[in-house]
Amino acid sequence: MKYVYTDKHHLHDPRTEIEASGLNEPRERPARLDEIAKALASDTTFEKVELTTHGLGPIKDVHDPTMVDFLSDAWARFQTQVRESREVVPDVFAMSSLRLGMDGGRAPLPVDAQLGWYCFETTTPLVAGTFEAATAAVDVALTATDLVLDSLSAAPVAYAACRPPGHHAAYNLYGGYCFFNNVAVAANYALNRLGSDAKSGAGSRPRVSILDVDYHHGNGTQQIFYQRQDVQFVSLHADPTRAYPFHLGFAEETGAGDGAGANLNLPLAANTNDEEFLSALEVACKAVVEFKPEILFVSIGFDISATDPLGDFAVTPEGFTRIGAKIAALGLPTVIVQEGGYDVSRLGEYALCFLRPFANR
């Protein structure tokens, strides 16, 4: 089974969370992906593939181009226009209530004001290498997508070892440790490639499904595709009445406009165990089968584990194997994209448990 990984993720190495919470290490740090990469490299079942660059076009097809341009030089501009700072976070946010009773609103010009226009929370600092790391993460997802698209008839699988993660990044907002929505960019890119084939007579209107099994709801992925009928978003996650991102991820959010019915949220209770998670996954997989996608994208988060410091689920290593086996059994061409997971000491183990059923199908 092929996987795509790059050391460029080390360029995003934030420290703010240590100071903010008293942690010995920030939750979202390079060691997360290092542990997964080390585990995959030790197992001959997996073959590493170097990323190929795709430019900013696929990112700007999904995200507001002005946000992409902002992120490209925001850290550097802050150093010269505001003050020198290793990490850059917003001081004020452009909340809609600030303009209650007024129309419109416009993007601010100063870089310190723009931070609160494009970022929705304070745990996602910019450092000098953030933009390069974030674009490389997208290229990891796109390279894995190319691997799958290039051999569709064999129902291939590829794993994109992405960091920073992506599923909280929305059309024109970053946050939740995420800058660009890796899985959303990859899904849209796949549709563009599949659409080109369809126009040449190779098939009908293409569809893809995104199955998100991270502990946290993929609010950004949902928002990006909420009104589209060619992308199905299905998410199993902690009930937002108690868990981040709090404002999205409720069962009644089912899509709108052309996307009505293409969004399925399955919020879960605290202490959800293997059997309970797999029961909800059965519902999710049934919805995917009914949607009939050409490709399945999986946002995998190992923060559903019983040992994760940010979650309250109770999924075991055996549970990860069974979850992987259940999704693999769908027999679809599949791109697996890494999202969360913060018990660094166990991430390699969890990754192998989840991925091996795909390698063996």
Q: Active-site residue numbers? A: 168
**Is 140 within 8 Å of 36 (Cβ atoms)?**
no
User: How many angstroms separate the CA atoms of 155 and 192, rounded?
Assistant: 19
Q: 247, exposed or middle or buried, with CB in 10 Å at 0-12, 13-18, 19+?
A: exposed
Closest to 77 in 3D by CA, of 121, 112, 117, 125: 112
**Is 5 within 8 Å of 336 (Cβ atoms)?**
no
**Is 64 within 8 Å of 40 (Cβ atoms)?**
no
- Mark out the alpha helices in the chain (DSSP H runs): 16-21, 30-41, 57-60, 65-81, 111-118, 130-149, 182-199, 219-225, 274-291, 317-328, 347-359
Helix 65-81 × helix 111-118 angle, to 10°: 140
Closest to 277 in 3D by CA, of 325, 327, 323: 323
Residue 169, SS3? Answer: coil
User: How many angstroms separate the CA atoms of 304 and 114, rounded?
Assistant: 34
- For residue 210, the cross-strand partners are 233, 297
User: How many angstroms separate the CA atoms of 236 and 267, rounded?
Assistant: 6
Closest to 228 in 3D by CA, of 210, 216, 204, 203: 210
**Is 324 within 8 Å of 353 (Cβ atoms)?**
yes
